[in-house]
Amino acid sequence: MWIAAHFVENNFSVLGLSPIVTIINFDTGATVVSGEAMVEKGSGFYGYYFVDYDPNVDYAIVCDSVTLSGSGRYSYVTSGEYGDVLDDIQTTISGVDVRTLLLRKIQTNRLVLNDGDAGNWTLYNDDGVTPLLTFDVVDKNNELIVQSSHVPSRRSKATGVY
């Protein structure tokens, strides 16, 4: 399970820290991780991968920026009753991200209808060269439409901000 912390000072994300994490089994009071280094992920976020995470255990997690002072020094997290819900949300978000990316590629990337009658509709990946998906082109009666030789139909990759 990834543990993430965001550190802010004077309303700005802080980069270049060397924060540490302490994880306590909330039920037993035992420290299961003590002073392990967190990895900078960008934009003031730092992460630690908790290898021994057990979704059936409640944890208290303290992320210490070490060098900041005041309320910005620590970031607190707990797991437990809502841990499964959060895991489900993360899984859903990951699935939505993948589907959203595919929809963007379908709407904007290079699309070519090549010669032939099977697998001739090709959607290319972002590089414009690598085939991402291929389709058979059919009419309203589900009959294959054959693209004549040497007359490919093309949609170039979209331009602009997306």
Ordered by start, the domain boundaries in the chain are 2-99, 109-148
For the chain, how long is the longest CA-to-CA vector? Answer: 73
The two three-digit tokens of residue 160, written as one number: 């602009």
Which range has highest mean pLDDT (10-14, 30-34, 74-78)? Answer: 30-34
The secondary structure of residue 101, as a DSSP letter, is H
pLDDT over 70 at 156, yes or no: no
Q: Are strands 8-9 and 74-78 parallel, antiparallel or unpaired?
A: unpaired
Beta bridge partners of 4: 47
Q: Rounded CA gap, 130 and 124, in Å?
A: 5
* Alpha carbons 101 and 105: distance in angstroms, whole number: 6
Residue listed under structure tokens 């035992």: 30
> What pLDDT does 40 receive?
95
Q: According to the CATH classification, is domain 2-99 in 3.40.50?
A: no
Cβ atoms 123, 106 nearer than 8 A: yes
Mean pLDDT of 96-105: 70
pTM of structure? 0.49
Q: Is 130 helix (H, G, I), strand (E, B) or coil?
A: coil
